[in-house]
Structure 1
C-alpha cells in the first residue's frame, strides 16, 4: 500500500499508530491479498464494464428498438382512447365555431381589438397592418 505523507513534515508518520493498525491490514497475514482483491473486483465487474462499452456504441435505432417494448403499447393505448373519443356521440355537445376576433377577445377585459385599431387612434402603419392582415 502507498502511504501519502509529507516527508518534510515535522510530525512524520506515526509509527505507533501504524503498528497498531497493521493487524487490521489484510495483507499483514496474506501478502498477496490486495492483488487478489483487485483481480476479484475486476473479474466481477467484467460483465458490467462490457455492457457499458456496448452502450457507448448504441445507435438511435438500437435505442428505439429497446424502447419499443414500452412505447408501442402506450401509442396503441393512446390511439384507442383517441378513437373512442372521436366516435362518441357528437350531438350531445354542439360546437359553435368562433371567429378569430372572438377567440382573441374572449374572456379579455378592457378594450377589444376593433376599438383599439380604430382609424382615429392609430398611426398609418398600424391601420395598414390591420387592413392587410
Structure 2
C-alpha cells in the first residue's frame, strides 16, 4: 500500500495549496487511471532487483581471504605481465652502450679548470678559488 504524503500548510500563509495546480497534476499521476499502478510498480522493481539484493546480502559474509581470491583474477595476470616485461628489460643486449662509472672526485671537478685535488692538498697554494672553497667550507 502506498501512502500519500500530505503537507500541513500554515494557515497564515497567503499562498496555501494551489488547488488548480494539484487538480491539473492528478491527470499525470498513473494511479489516476489505474488504482493498482504503484503497487504493481513496486513489485516489478523488487522482482528486478532481487538478484542485486541477494548479492548484497552475501557481501556481508565475505572475509578478507574471499576478497583476496576475487582480486587474484586481475592481480595475477598483471603481475605475470610485469614480470615478463622486467625479464625482457634485464636480458636485452646491454653491450651496445658501455656505461663508465663516474667517481665523486670527477663529478666535483668536472667543470672546474686547473688542478683541484693537488691544490687542495698543498697548503702553500691557497690563491686558487677551489682551495679557498675547500678551506672555508
Any residues of structure 2 matched to 1:87-126 within 5 Å, and which?
Answer: 87-99=91-103, 101=104, 118=134, 120-121=135-136
- Work out which of the residue numbers 47, 69, 73 in structure 2 matches 1:69: 73
Q: CA deviation at 1:98?
A: 4.1
The equivalent of 1:125 in structure 2 is: none
Distance in 1 (CA, whole Å) between partners of 2:17 and 2:96 is 88
Per-residue CA deviations over 1:88-118 (Å, capped at 9, x if unaligned) read 223222233344x46x86x9xxxxxx97x84
Distance in 2 (CA, whole Å) between partners of 1:35 and 1:121 is 90
Structure 2 residue runs without a partner (length 5+): 111-119, 121-129
SS in 1 for 2:27: helix
Any residues of structure 2 matched to 1:1-133 within 5 Å, and which?
Answer: 1-8=4-11, 9-99=13-103, 101=104, 118=134, 120-121=135-136
Q: CA deviation at 1:23?
A: 2.0
Cα pair distance change 1:49/1:121, threshold 3 Å: farther
**TM-score (normalised: structure 2):** 0.60
Distance in 1 (CA, whole Å) between partners of 2:86 and 2:41 is 58
CA-atom RMSD, angstroms? 3.5
Distance in 2 (CA, whole Å) between partners of 1:41 and 1:66 is 29
Q: CA deviation at 1:68?
A: 2.0
Q: Which has the higher contact order (CA 8 A, sep 6+)?
A: 2
Cα pair distance change 1:96/1:64, threshold 3 Å: farther
Distance in 2 (CA, whole Å) between partners of 1:43 and 1:23 is 28
